[in-house]
Amino acid sequence: MIIDYIQTIIGSILTILIGLILFYASIEDLRNRTIRSIWVVALYIIVSALTISTGNMSTQSTFVFLFTFILFMGIAVFSFGRFGIGDAMVLGALGWFYHDFISLQQFLFAMASVCIPWAVFCILYYGRHQGFINAIKGFKKNIPIENVRPGMVLASDNFMHGLTQQDIDQLKHAGHVTIQIKNPMPFIPCIFFAFLLTLF
């Protein structure tokens, strides 16, 4: 009885931490259109700890994790930068959190419910500023080199590697006045809200 109570408390704390990681990663995704690897690493550690502490480590949970991870990593690779590797790895970690296919199905349904209106909004928003053809092909924009921040991604980078300050300094030294960066739909906020929906 006491062990079950302790497991419940630990599970609740770790679930809250997962929510906080997704929240802060969402803010970073909205600002830079990419997330730092620290959020992904922290998410895998906490989800693993939650899976072990709640006794949900099983063959089925491993299959769910592998299915989710491979599926979304494949989408990331073949989307040519429109879907980030970081997004795929976050979804892979959550595949372990949902530990069975029924729970995963509920999460994916919640994510679709959030993503569809969000995608429509993004296409309309960017279409108004950049033209609808450009918005559908991929969200990109030219910005002055002075406005480039660490974490932004070059338009030519299909694997969403965020620029470091050293990269930015090299671009300035090379004489670039403007550069074209990716400005894709921030997807982590959709994952965050779908995560919240499955908790209630």
Q: What is the pLDDT of residues 113-141, one digit of tens each?
A: 998 898 888 778 776 766 666 655 556 77
- Specify the pTM: 0.76
Most confident stretch, 67-71, 113-117, 144-148, 178-182: 113-117
C-beta neighbour count of 121 within 10 angstroms: 11
Check pLDDT > 60 for residue 81: no
> What is the DSSP-derived secondary structure letter of residue 147?
G
Check pLDDT > 70 for residue 80: no
Please check whether residue 197 is in contact with residue 111, taking contact to mean a CB–CB distance below 8 angstroms.
Answer: no
**CA–CA distance, 71 with 65 (Å, rounded to integer):** 10
